[in-house]
Structure 1
Amino acid sequence: MDRVLLIEDDDIIGEMICMYLKEEDFVVLRCHNGQEGLAALHHFQPDLILLDLILPDFEGTELCNSLRGLTPVPIIIISSNSKVSEKIEAFTVGADDYLCKPFSMHEMKARIQVLLRRFKRELPAEQQQSPPPEPAPSPQRVSVPATELQINLEKRTLHVRGASIEMTFSEFELIRLLVEHPERVYRREDLINALRGFDSYINERAIDVHITNLRRKIEVNPKEPKYIKTVWGVGYKFVI
């Protein structure tokens, strides 16, 4: 069963979410503040995190950023703030989805399943308990010699010019898609669907933020990108 870490100080909402997810066969651990959540991350080892933005001891986006630095699992923000600026900030610090209160429990479950499916798709060895891959090249690795860029799909790692690069779950999915299909022009709508599916929230502005962050991480000069090119009026493409 999938394990969900819920960090929510509101007792009514927290209990509702716990009861619903347990009835849907999830294993749920609820924490009432950020410190509890950080401590639980290590011993509970969740498959997904539900994080309230308003906590008694942490600014939600600060905690999201800290959690993203410790784990690659999907993070869904739950918040009563529906401002676009707040959503963009959450995506920027590592969130993978954003649910505005009040929300449907069925919708929450659908979004959880979308993110878990996409995340687990990249972890076949762990799911199937198969032996570690041999060091020889395999389909789990994608290399682009011209950019000195190497992606390991199994370990979800990216190396650029020999240096290990930290990425959010969404950033990894985006760069993987672009690198696997060089020269293909992706509309923003295509990238939204590829990252989120139809059940999760993301908009064109969030895609632009992810692209900007990726350029900072892989380009020598992000202001004059050589690899992730903008196709004006359409979207983006990866150039070898």
Structure 2
Amino acid sequence: MHKVLLIEDDDIIGEMIRMYLTEENFLVLRAHNGQEGVLVLNEFEPELILLDLKLPDFEGTDLCNTLRKITTVPIIIISANSKVSEKIKAFTVGADDYLCKPFSMHEMKARILAVLRRLKQAPPAMKTVHALNHSEAPKSVIDVNIEKRILFVQGEATEITFSEFELIKLLFGNPEKVFRREDLINGLRGFDYFVNDRSIDVHITNLRRKIEKNPKEPRHIKTVRGVGYKFVL
């Protein structure tokens, strides 16, 4: 049974989602505002957060940013705002998917399961290459623990979003391979997962800030002009 934290102030929509997911064998805890959502997070320990963008006490993107600083749990934004700029903003502050209202409950369930599946499954080839003994401190400047979903930089665990981890896992697992943006989009996309060239660039920018000494002159995540990106050890 998957545990979902729903942060939604609209009683009608909130109860519809809660009832549907409960009938689909999810364990759902609904928080009516952002403060309540933050307070119950640690005790409930959800596997995924459904976050409404319009809340009485928080701007949704501000709350998403706050949640991302304290948890690596995947976050799916639900919003009536379908503007691409709003979606990009949400991804920039740590959202992993974006679902526009009105939406089908079946689509919502599919997106939840797609995100959870990506969380639990790593490509077998990459598991083989990187299933190393991480009981010892990582020796390389950058290292990725697939099983625990941890990015190490200079031996220190680094805060990272769900989508950023999926991206660095793909790049790190294939050093020197040049990935087209289309390849990276397909690597992140689930059931109609909203990701495009711009969001890939945003994720790359955020990753460079976290792993590069000088993000403006990256040593590890290189841009291949006219093509895409590659990772250099």
Q: TM-score scaled by structure 2?
A: 0.90
Sequence identity percentage: 71
Distance 1:194 1:108 in 2: 20
Post-superposition offset of 1:98: 0.4
1:127 counterpart residue number: none
User: Is structure 2 residue 152 aligned with structure 1 residue 159?
Assistant: yes
1:80 counterpart residue number: 80
Post-superposition offset of 1:160: 1.5
8 Å CA contact 2:52–2:79 kept in 1: the answer is: yes
8 Å CA contact 2:139–2:155 kept in 1: the answer is: no
Distance 2:166 2:158 in 1: 14
Distance 1:229 1:49 in 2: 32
8 Å CA contact 1:107–1:199 kept in 2: the answer is: no
User: Is structure 2 residue 102 aligned with structure 1 residue 102?
Assistant: yes
8 Å CA contact 1:74–1:169 kept in 2: the answer is: yes
1:16 counterpart residue number: 16
Distance 2:142 2:154 in 1: 6
8 Å CA contact 1:77–1:99 kept in 2: the answer is: yes
Distance 2:178 2:55 in 1: 41
Counterpart of 2:171 (choices 174, 178, 202) is 178
Other structure's SS at 2:168 match: helix
RMSD: 1.9
2:116 counterpart residue number: 116
Distance 1:235 1:3 in 2: 36
8 Å CA contact 2:151–2:157 kept in 1: the answer is: yes
Post-superposition offset of 1:139: 8.4
8 Å CA contact 1:80–1:102 kept in 2: the answer is: yes
Distance 1:211 1:32 in 2: 34
Amino acid paired to 1:118? R
* Cα 1:172/1:11, change in 2 over 3 Å: same
* Cα 1:120/1:30, change in 2 over 3 Å: same
Other structure's SS at 2:152 match: strand
Distance 1:226 1:166 in 2: 20
Post-superposition offset of 1:144: 7.9
Amino acid paired to 2:180? R
8 Å CA contact 2:134–2:145 kept in 1: the answer is: no
Post-superposition offset of 1:6: 0.4
Amino acid paired to 1:179? F
8 Å CA contact 1:114–1:199 kept in 2: the answer is: no
Post-superposition offset of 1:228: 0.7
Post-superposition offset of 1:155: 2.2
Post-superposition offset of 1:199: 3.1
* Cα 1:233/1:74, change in 2 over 3 Å: same
Post-superposition offset of 1:140: 9.7
Distance 2:62 2:189 in 1: 23
Other structure's SS at 1:181 match: coil
User: Is structure 2 residue 208 aligned with structure 1 residue 225?
Assistant: no
User: Is structure 2 residue 157 aligned with structure 1 residue 187?
Assistant: no
Counterpart of 1:204 (choices 181, 191, 197) is 197
User: Is structure 2 residue 133 aligned with structure 1 residue 138?
Assistant: yes
Post-superposition offset of 1:169: 0.9
* Cα 1:144/1:231, change in 2 over 3 Å: farther
